[in-house]
């Protein structure tokens, strides 16, 4: 079953690097579990709040530059937090990244502070603020993404 991103999810991709948007857009078409975009670009103030409350381990998040997204598995009208679902979502995101020829890191693969909803473009290939595909982040509309 193919899923479709909501208008809210598409808005939350505004400012995200176009390569990462392409991965998310492909993943929604191949994932076995529905998902929503929880967060794309994040303000410095929000990052500080998350850090201060132990929900992030860095003040230098890839969200600040549009190189990361948090995705939530969506079931029965709500986000669910079951790890097996995030592994299935990660599998779809990794497959989509390979299809798009985009390197991708999943927070669930980290040794410490596992972050199942988090996907980011690697620093080595995408140094902030731009990346190989674009010197500026874009919106889903400019990448041809549709709802």
Residue-wise burial string across 53-71, b where 16 or more C-beta atoms lie within 10 A, e elsewhere: eeebeeeebbbbbbbbbbb
Mean pLDDT of 38-43: 97
Q: Residue 91: which pLDDT band, with cuts at 50, 70 and 90?
A: very high
Beta bridge partners of 120: 68, 105
Mean pLDDT of 30-37: 98
CATH code of the domain containing 54? 3.30.1380.10
> Does residue 93 form part of some domain?
yes
- Residue 46 confidence (pLDDT) above 70: yes
Residue 48, pLDDT score: 96
Strand, coil or helix: what is 34? coil
How many percent of the chain have pLDDT more than 70? Answer: 86
Residue 133, pLDDT score: 42
Residue 120's Cα: distance from chain center in Å?
6
- Residue 145 confidence (pLDDT) above 60: no
> Does residue 89 form part of some domain?
yes
> Does residue 146 form part of some domain?
no
> Does residue 35 form part of some domain?
yes
- Residue 8 confidence (pLDDT) above 90: yes
Residue 1, pLDDT score: 66
Distance CA 46, CA 51 (A): 9
Residue-wise burial string across 14-41, b where 16 or more C-beta atoms lie within 10 A, e elsewhere: bbbbbbbbbbbbbbbeebebbbbbebbb
> Does residue 147 form part of some domain?
no
Q: How many domains does the chain have?
A: 1
- Residue 103 confidence (pLDDT) above 60: yes
> In this structure, what are the phi and psi dihedrals at residue 51, rounded to the nearest 5 degrees?
-65, -50
Residue-range definition of the domain harbouring residue 117: 7-141
Beta bridge partners of 119: 69, 106
> Does residue 97 form part of some domain?
yes
Mean pLDDT of 70-86: 97
> Does residue 2 form part of some domain?
no
> Does residue 1 form part of some domain?
no
């Amino acid at each position: 079953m193919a899923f479709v991103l909501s208008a809210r999810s598409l808005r939350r991709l505004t400012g995200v690097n176009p390569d990462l948007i392409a991965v998310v857009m492909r993943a929604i078409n191949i994932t076995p579990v529905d998902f929503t975009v929880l967060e794309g670009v994040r303000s410095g103030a929000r990052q500080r709040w998350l850090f201060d409350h132990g929900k992030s381990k860095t003040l230098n998040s890839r969200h600040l530059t549009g190189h990361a997204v948090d995705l939530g598995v969506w079931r029965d009208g709500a986000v669910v937090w079951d790890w097996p679902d995030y592994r299935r979502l990660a599998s779809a995101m990794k497959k989509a990244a390979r299809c798009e020829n985009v390197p991708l890191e999943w927070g669930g693969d980290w040794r410490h502070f596992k972050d199942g909803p988090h996907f980011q473009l690697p620093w080595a290939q995408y140094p902030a603020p731009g990346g190989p595909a674009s010197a500026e982040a874009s919106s889903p509309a400019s990448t041809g993404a549709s709802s």
